[in-house]
């Protein structure tokens, strides 16, 4: 400390005198005026402010002064009047290892550890010349006993650990009040005086009981960890408090107290307040369920890496999966990062994270907020936002920071990693393989490397050389086997594998292991490629003719023999995949007559047009058009594959000369039904309907080959393959969604519409019970369609119980945090599962469009890995067979089955909206 009276005219009034009673009334008034200029103190009641003025001291620190160190026993509490201070934490006893986790600005306070004489949790160093208000331990304890809740509102736990969030405190305070009132109404025994170790704690709850209670209140509370995060959100804002001021909520026998119970004279809620809380409870729980995961994540990231549990690492890993800056990394590397990444926050805009020219020690990812990148002589050159990263280049190249990073707004959160290590293998001065070192050593003590990018040949070579032959499942090799068709067709792969057979026995064994995985993954697709069949036959013949090789690989040869025989039998029986299957296709003419042609499933637009021209006997140049029920026309390209599978639900294919294009009009049957079918299915059991929908969906889902997901993502034209099975499955999703909208909009009677909504909610609930998430989401999205959601009179008549069910179901569709609610739901389910396919395809498309397939003429293998992981999710969903006995069939099962497989719908949104307005016109 130093004499800074020239900076603060109040120095003399605060004084350094131990005799506090020497302060005059005028002194106290001057100090009071100064404190009221600090926003944090404006909330303090006048009596408390006067007490602080009477007992507080003034201190001024020059830049770089250490106020106290981590591990010291504290003697004073502090509040920041001007300037800023860095909070540094070390995981070792060496203070030189300390890292800055945040910066305390004006109005923040710290040092409440003096209440129980625990060691300081961090080292505090002045970042600039700073003025502090200091209260010694004895006086602070006296103030705390009287004004606990008020003093907590400025204590450093909200800033030092990065807990302060942008969610309005008023909303969380109301949430805490609603939960407290609900507990007092439903389970009053939970809030009572508790005795523990001869000490009495007033009006407390137990952590485990709070979690138990919250999990039972709503299905949108997905796990106990989810509930912990929800309580943590309240703890961070001081709406709920640990009796010993612990900063993290725990699902243990620990005591917590609501803010309203801090004061002894707080009255119990009135009957009207209880009633209001009961009405608000579902919405309150839904709100907390949405912010709980973020609070839980912050709490976990505050732990030192050595204290993180397996569940903690999974939660961090799930967060890392959705960070844009990490999209290029493998899932293996992300799992390693989960164990070393730490959380850092800074409270004030203008804080300099690091300066240009400084040594790089960390790599940062912006979790919340934004920063400016500043270069000397150029000023602000760009702004980085949530999901962006910076600082990695200085680590990899061991060079000084190329720019300064300055916080652009208050309360910025970062994830920070102190390691980044990349290995580039070169041939003839050109990079051919890029590997990234894993932060953690393998169990054998050697360093693990993950392939980031490389030439196809080098990637294959790397996997063959590093393949562990004693491990049955190797995710990296599986990624290659599944994804190689994108960057390395079989015509290139097979010769390279044959070349490797010339190497030593270990190399031959690795080749054979990889070939077996390759053949099992591609199965019948190999029948389409004579080169692949020839390779398998040649490989088997080579092994059979070489007795020495046969002995060395005798445990693997029988598996290869089975594969070769299977391919041979399939060819003899002419068992071909869908590319060779012919089917009948109706194609309409401009006069609305039609012709029927026989084409392959994978037929291109050109082949369809050719077949139509031959059938009609015309030489005119024809166009192939997709005509929707709304009259929209789309000219299909000559090389479009499987054109029939892209037709919309009520769409039709037309062939006509260009000059007749404008005269095309939809067919009458494209409009869809004119009357609803409620009279048909209202007597059918909701469970039976859901069961038959699930049976049909499972049939469609089972037929989707993993590679169809690749064809959808990268384009069928690139592979000359069909994705007809996937298209039919997606078409079914749209059909179920439109079925809901159609039935509601064609139901003219209000009471019947209410019954319809109840029926659909019941069917959705049973679909979820059967783990048919595809139809479950289709039904809920149908009910969310504007043509249905705007029917306020109908929704008002819906019983409260069903409204709650619908709100819970709709919360699963919440797209925030990359559909975290849905993803958490899926992780709790065991296969068989019918997943929400549109979201899986969105994940793959996002990865594809956001990342180049080739970087510097090398395959971006990280992209391949991420897409392969999504495909593995589909594989996991089908890893167990569907049990048709989950529902006991009723007598009318055949009728139900026939109904759900032939749903008639209106697919014209404009027509549905018009029907909706006829049912319930706009209110004037």
* DSSP symbols for 605-645: HHHHHHHHHHHHT--S--EEEEE-TT--EEEPPTT-BSGGG
Domain assignment present for residue 436? The answer is: no
pLDDT (0 to 100) of residue 19: 35
How many domains, the chain? 6
Q: Which CATH number belongs to the domain containing residue 662 in this structure?
A: 3.10.20.90
Supply 106's token pair. 């004006």
Q: What whole-number distance in Å separates Cα of residue 272 and Cα of residue 276?
A: 6
One domain, residues 490 and 538: yes
Supply 664's token pair. 């095309």
Helix axes 750-769, 800-811, angle to 10 degrees: 50
Reduced to 3 DSSP states, what percent helix, strand and coil does the chain have, rounded to the nearest 5?
50, 15, 30
One domain, residues 642 and 694: no
Contact call for residues 334 and 328 (beta carbons, < 8 A):
no
Contact call for residues 587 and 597 (beta carbons, < 8 A):
yes
pLDDT (0 to 100) of residue 842: 92
The alpha carbon torsion through 266, 268, 270, 274 (nearest 10 deg) reads 120
Q: What whole-number distance in Å separates Cα of residue 34 and Cα of residue 41?
A: 10
One domain, residues 687 and 749: yes
One domain, residues 543 and 628: no
Q: What whole-number distance in Å separates Cα of residue 547 and Cα of residue 544?
A: 7
Contact call for residues 200 and 240 (beta carbons, < 8 A):
no
pLDDT (0 to 100) of residue 922: 86
String of DSSP letters for 756-825: HHHHHHHHHHHHHHTTBHHHHHHHHHHHHSHHHHT-HHHHHHS-HHHHHHHHHHHHTT--HHHHHHHHHH
Which residues make beta-bridge pairs with 258? 240
In the 3-class helix/strand/coil scheme, how is 644-694 assigned residue by residue? HHHCCCCCEEEEECHHHHHHCCCCHHHHCCCCCCHHHHCCCCHHHHHHHHH
User: How far is CA 108 from each of CA 98, 339, 412, rounded to the nearest angstrom?
Assistant: 21, 30, 16
Q: Put residue 642 in one of left, alpha, beta given phi > 0 → left and psi -120 to 50 → alpha.
A: left
Q: What whole-number distance in Å separates Cα of residue 412 and Cα of residue 184?
A: 37
Contact call for residues 38 and 82 (beta carbons, < 8 A):
no
User: How far is CA 485 from each of CA 489, 718, 726, 858, 869, rounded to the nearest angstrom?
Assistant: 5, 10, 18, 15, 16
Q: What whole-number distance in Å separates Cα of residue 521 and Cα of residue 706?
A: 9
Angle at 607 between CA 601 and CA 610, to 5 degrees: 135
One domain, residues 267 and 348: no
One domain, residues 413 and 470: no
Domain's final residue, options 543, 567, 591: 567
Q: Scanning the structure block, which residue is given the tokens 């600082």?
A: 391
Q: Which CATH number belongs to the domain containing residue 254 in this structure?
A: 1.10.10.10
| 3-state secondary structure at position 190 | helix
Which residues make beta-bridge pairs with 406? 352, 372
pLDDT (0 to 100) of residue 162: 34
Q: What whole-number distance in Å separates Cα of residue 108 and Cα of residue 160?
A: 9
Q: Which CATH number belongs to the domain containing residue 93 in this structure?
A: 2.60.120.10
One domain, residues 257 and 388: no
Domain assignment present for residue 806? The answer is: yes
| Residues whose CB is less than 8 angstroms from the CB of residue 582 and which lie 6 or more positions away in sequence, other chains included | 598, 599, 600, 601
Contact call for residues 112 and 245 (beta carbons, < 8 A):
yes
One domain, residues 538 and 594: no
Q: For CA atoms 177, 178, 183, 188, give the dihedral sign.
A: positive
pLDDT (0 to 100) of residue 6: 35
> Could you tell me the residue range of the domain that residue 411 belongs to?
341-417
One domain, residues 233 and 206: yes
Helix (H) or strand (E) holding 462: helix 456-466
Distance of CA 604 to the CA centre of its chain: 37
Q: What whole-number distance in Å separates Cα of residue 764 and Cα of residue 779?
A: 6
Domain assignment present for residue 297? The answer is: no
Q: Scanning the structure block, which residue is given the tokens 């090389």?
A: 639
Domain assignment present for residue 426? The answer is: no
For the chain, report the end-to-end CA distance as a whole number of angstroms: 70
DSSP letter, residue 834 = B
Phi, psi of 334 (to 5 degrees): -65, -35
Q: Which of 585, 594, 672, 588 is nearest to 627 (CA)?
A: 588
Domain assignment present for residue 448? The answer is: no
One domain, residues 691 and 768: yes
One domain, residues 505 and 538: yes
pLDDT (0 to 100) of residue 21: 41
Contact call for residues 864 and 479 (beta carbons, < 8 A):
yes
DSSP letter, residue 368 = E
Contact call for residues 316 and 230 (beta carbons, < 8 A):
no
Q: Put residue 275 in one of left, alpha, beta given phi > 0 → left and psi -120 to 50 → alpha.
A: alpha
Domain assignment present for residue 789? The answer is: yes
Q: What size, in residues, is the chain?
A: 924
Domain assignment present for residue 204? The answer is: yes
Q: Which of 753, 814, 788, 828 is nearest to 909 (CA)?
A: 788
Burial class (CB in 10 A: 0-12, 13-18, 19+), 397: exposed
Domain's final residue, options 122, 153, 184: 153
Task: Kindly give the pairing relationship between strand 430-437 and strand 422-427.
Answer: antiparallel
The alpha carbon torsion through 390, 394, 397, 402 (nearest 10 deg) reads 100
Burial class (CB in 10 A: 0-12, 13-18, 19+), 388: middle
One domain, residues 529 and 499: yes
Domain's final residue, options 371, 402, 417: 417
Q: What's the maximum distance between 2 C-alpha atoms anywhere in the chain?
A: 113
Domain assignment present for residue 666? The answer is: yes
Q: Which CATH number belongs to the domain containing residue 782 in this structure?
A: 1.10.840.10
Which residues make beta-bridge pairs with 407? 371
pLDDT mean by block of 10 residues, the chain; 924 residues: 38 40 69 74 72 85 89 87 82 62 77 80 87 88 68 45 46 91 92 84 92 90 90 88 83 89 79 89 90 87 79 84 70 71 80 80 85 83 86 62 86 74 72 72 49 92 78 79 92 88 71 88 74 84 71 78 72 46 88 92 91 93 95 92 89 95 94 94 93 96 93 84 91 97 96 97 96 96 96 95 93 82 88 94 91 91 92 94 76 90 96 96 80
pLDDT (0 to 100) of residue 443: 38
Q: Which of 44, 254, 230 is nearest to 152 (CA)?
A: 44
Q: What whole-number distance in Å separates Cα of residue 820 and Cα of residue 825?
A: 9
pLDDT (0 to 100) of residue 9: 37
């Amino acid at each position: 400390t130093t004499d800074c009276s020239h900076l603060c005219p109040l120095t003399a009034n605060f004084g350094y005198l131990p005799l506090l009673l020497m302060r005059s009334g005028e002194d106290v008034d001057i100090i009071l005026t100064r404190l009221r200029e600090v926003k944090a103190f404006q909330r303090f009641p006048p009596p408390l402010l006067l007490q602080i003025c009477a007992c507080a001291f003034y201190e001024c620190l020059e830049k770089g002064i250490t106020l106290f160190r981590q591990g010291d026993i504290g003697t004073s509490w502090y509040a920041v009047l001007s300037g800023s201070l860095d909070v540094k934490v070390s995981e070792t006893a060496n203070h030189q290892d300390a890292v800055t986790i945040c910066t305390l600005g004006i109005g923040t306070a710290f040092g409440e550890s003096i209440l129980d004489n625990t060691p300081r949790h961090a080292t505090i160093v002045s970042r600039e010349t700073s003025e502090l208000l200091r209260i010694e331990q004895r006086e602070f304890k006296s103030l705390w006993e009287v004004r606990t809740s008020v003093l907590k509102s400025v204590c450093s736990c909200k800033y030092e650990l990065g807990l302060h969030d942008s969610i309005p405190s008023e909303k969380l305070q109301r949430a805490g009040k609603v939960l407290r009132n609900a507990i007092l109404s439903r389970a009053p025994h939970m809030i009572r005086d508790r005795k523990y170790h001869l000490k009495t704690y007033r009006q407390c709850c137990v952590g485990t009981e709070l979690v138990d209670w919250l999990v039972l209140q709503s299905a949108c509370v997905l796990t106990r960890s989810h509930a912990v995060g929800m309580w943590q959100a309240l703890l961070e804002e001081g709406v709920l408090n640990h009796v010993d001021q612990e900063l993290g909520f725990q699902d243990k026998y620990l005591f917590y107290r609501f803010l309203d119970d801090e004061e002894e004279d707080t009255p119990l809620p009135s009957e009207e307040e209880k009633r209001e809380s009961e009405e608000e409870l579902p919405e309150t729980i839904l709100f907390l369920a949405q912010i709980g995961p973020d609070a839980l994540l912050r709490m976990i990231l505050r732990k030192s890496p050595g204290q993180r549990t397996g569940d903690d690492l999974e939660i961090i890993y799930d967060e890392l999966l959705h960070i844009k800056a990490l999209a290029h990394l493998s899932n293996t590397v992300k799992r390693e990062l989960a164990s070393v990444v730490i959380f850092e926050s800074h409270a004030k805009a203008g804080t300099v994270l690091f300066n240009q020219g400084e040594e790089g020690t960390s790599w940062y990812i912006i979790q919340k907020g934004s920063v400016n990148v500043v270069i000397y002589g150029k000023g602000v050159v760009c702004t980085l936002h949530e999901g962006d990263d910076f600082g990695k280049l200085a680590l990899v190249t061991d060079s000084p920071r190329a720019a300064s990073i300055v916080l652009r707004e208050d309360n910025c959160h970062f994830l920070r990693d102190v390691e980044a290590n990349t290995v580039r293998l070169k041939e003839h001065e050109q990079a051919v393989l890029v590997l990234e070192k894993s932060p953690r050593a393998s169990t054998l003590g050697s360093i693990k490397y993950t392939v980031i990018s490389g030439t196809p040949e080098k990637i294959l070579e790397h996997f063959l050389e590093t393949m562990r032959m004693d491990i049955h499942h190797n995710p990296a090799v599986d990624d290659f086997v599944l994804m190689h068709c994108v960057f390395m067709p079989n015509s290139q792969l097979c010769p390279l594998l044959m070349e490797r057979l010339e190497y030593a026995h270990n190399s031959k064994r690795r080749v054979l292991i990889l070939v077996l995985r390759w053949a099992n993954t591609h199965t019948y697709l190999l029948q389409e490629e004579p080169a692949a069949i020839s390779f398998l036959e040649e490989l088997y013949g080579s092994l059979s003719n070489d007795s020495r090789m046969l002995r060395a690989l005798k445990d693997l040869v029988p598996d290869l023999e089975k594969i070769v025989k299977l391919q041979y039998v399939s060819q003899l029986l002419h068992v071909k995949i869908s590319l060779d299957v012919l089917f009948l296709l109706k194609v309409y003419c401009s006069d609305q007559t039609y012709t029927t042609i026989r084409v392959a499933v994978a037929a291109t637009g050109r082949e369809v047009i050719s077949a139509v021209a031959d059938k009609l006997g015309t030489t005119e140049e024809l166009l192939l058009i997709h005509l929707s029920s709304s009259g929209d026309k789309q000219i299909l390209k000559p090389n479009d594959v499987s054109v029939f599978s892209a037709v919309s639900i009520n769409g039709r294919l037309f062939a006509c000369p260009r000059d007749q294009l404008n005269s095309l009009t939809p067919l009458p049957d494209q409009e869809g039904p004119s009357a609803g079918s409620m009279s048909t299915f209202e007597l059918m059991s909701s469970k039976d309907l859901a069961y038959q929908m699930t049976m049909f969906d499972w049939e469609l889902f089972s037929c989707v080959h993993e590679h169809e997901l690749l064809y959808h993502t990268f384009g069928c034209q690139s592979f000359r393959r069909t994705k007809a099975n996937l298209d039919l499955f997606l078409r079914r999703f749209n059909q179920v969604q439109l079925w809901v909208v159609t039935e509601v909009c064609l139901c003219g009677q209000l009471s019947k519409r209410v019954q319809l909504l109840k029926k659909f909610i019941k069917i959705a609930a049973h679909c979820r019970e059967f783990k048919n998430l595809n139809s479950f989401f289709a039904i809920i999205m149908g009910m969310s369609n504007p043509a249905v959601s705007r029917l306020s009179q109908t929704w008002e008549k819906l019983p409260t119980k069903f409204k709650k069910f619908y709100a819970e179901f709709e919360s699963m569709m919440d797209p925030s945090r990359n559909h975290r609610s849905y993803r958490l739901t899926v992780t709790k389910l065991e296969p068989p599962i019918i997943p929400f396919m549109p979201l899986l395809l969105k994940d793959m498309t996002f990865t594809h469009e956001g990342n180049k397939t080739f970087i510097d003429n090398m395959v971006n293998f990280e992209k391949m890995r991420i897409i392969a992981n999504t495909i593995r999710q589909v594989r996991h969903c089908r890893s167990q067979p569907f049990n048709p006995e989950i529902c006991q069939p009723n007598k009318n099962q055949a009728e139900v089955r026939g109904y759900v497989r032939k749903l008639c719908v209106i697919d014209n949104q404009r027509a549905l909206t018009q029907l909706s307005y006829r049912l319930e016109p706009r209110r004037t």
